[in-house]
Amino acid sequence: MTVPDLFHHQYVFPRHRLRPTLRDESKIPLVLISCGSFSPITYLHLRMFEMAKDQIEEEGKYELIGGYFSPVNDKYAKKGLAPAVHRVQMCEIAVDNTSDWIMVDSWEAMNPTYQRTATVLDHFNECLNGAEGGGVLLADGQVKPIHIMLLAGGDLIESFGIPNCWALKDLHHILGHYGCVIVERTGSDVYNFLLSHDILNRYKKNVRVVKQLIHNDISSTKIRLFIKRGMAIKYLLPNQVIDYISQHQLYLD
C-alpha cells in the first residue's frame, strides 16, 4: 500500500495477531494499548511491550493475548509530529519486522478530530468486546471479556499531574475502568508520583509499575534532533523504519 492511499481505504480493526483462545482459561485475557505520537517509533516503544509482558506473566492473573500501538491524531499538533500517514506506516513497518503479537490500529490517527485517550480505550473495548465475536471463546462455549489496559511510560503518567492537561473524568475512567501499566523511564520517579497524585493513589490497585532492569532513554525527540543534525540513528530504531524516514525525508527541518 502506497503512503498516499493509506487513509483512503475503509477502516478495518486489526486482529491478525490477536490470539483467539487462552492457554489457561482460569486467567483473564488482556490486551495492552499504547497511545502516543511515535514520531518516530523507537526500540524503546517496542521494548515497553515486552517488559510489560514479562511482569504480567510473572503475576499470573492475566494472560496477554495482544497489544496495539495507537498513533495520535494530527490535530494533537505537537512539535515534531510527522503526518499521521507516515507515523502509522512507520509503526506498521516496526511491528511487522519485530513482533508476532503487537499490531497498529489507525482509528485514532484517521479520525478527522483529536480523540482523547479515554475515548480511544473505549473504541478498543467496543472492537474487542462489543462487536459480534467479541471476547475470548472458552472450551465450554462461554465468552470471556477481554480486559484492556493502557501501557505508558513514566513521563506520560507524570503529565496526569499537570493542571488542565487531562480531564478529571477521563483520569477516573482510564484508571478506574481500564487500569494502567507504567514502564519506568530514566529520570522518572514513578513510585513517588503515584504516592503524591490523589487519583493515581486512589486507583493504585489498577496501576502496575514495570521497572527497567536495563535502562533505556531513547526518545523520539533525540532521534529527530539526530536526523536534523545528520547524525547516525542506526540501532536506535529498526533499519526498515530508518529507510522509510530517509525515503520520505522526514524530520529534516
Neighbours of 162 (CB within 10 A): 8
pLDDT at 190 > cutoff 60: yes
Report whether pLDDT(163) > 80: no
pLDDT at 46 over 90: yes
Please, what's the b/e burial string for 123-136 (b: 16 or more CB within 10 A of its CB; e: otherwise)?
bbbebbbeeeeeeb
Residue 94's pLDDT is 98
| Averaged pLDDT, 203-232 | 91
Phi, psi values for residue 188, rounded to 5°: -105, 125
Query: With bands split at pLDDT 50, 70 and 90, how would you rate the model's confidence at 1?
Result: very low
Is the predicted pLDDT of residue 161 greater than 70, yes or no? no
Q: How high does pLDDT run on average in the chain?
A: 90
Per-residue confidence (pLDDT) for residue 216, from 0 to 100:
82
In terms of average pLDDT, the best of 125-139, 147-161, 201-215, 221-235 is 221-235
Provide the grid cell at 200: 493515581
pLDDT at res. 153:
85
Please tell me the predicted confidence (pLDDT) of residue 167. Answer: 86
Adjacent-strand bridge partners of 137: 143
Q: Is 80 exceeded by the pLDDT of residue 26?
A: yes
Structure-model confidence comparison of residues 164 and 106, the more confident one: 106
Q: Looking at the predicted structure, is the pLDDT value of residue 5 above 90?
A: no
CA 96, 97, 102, 106 torsion-angle sign: negative
In this prediction, residue 4 carries a pLDDT of 45
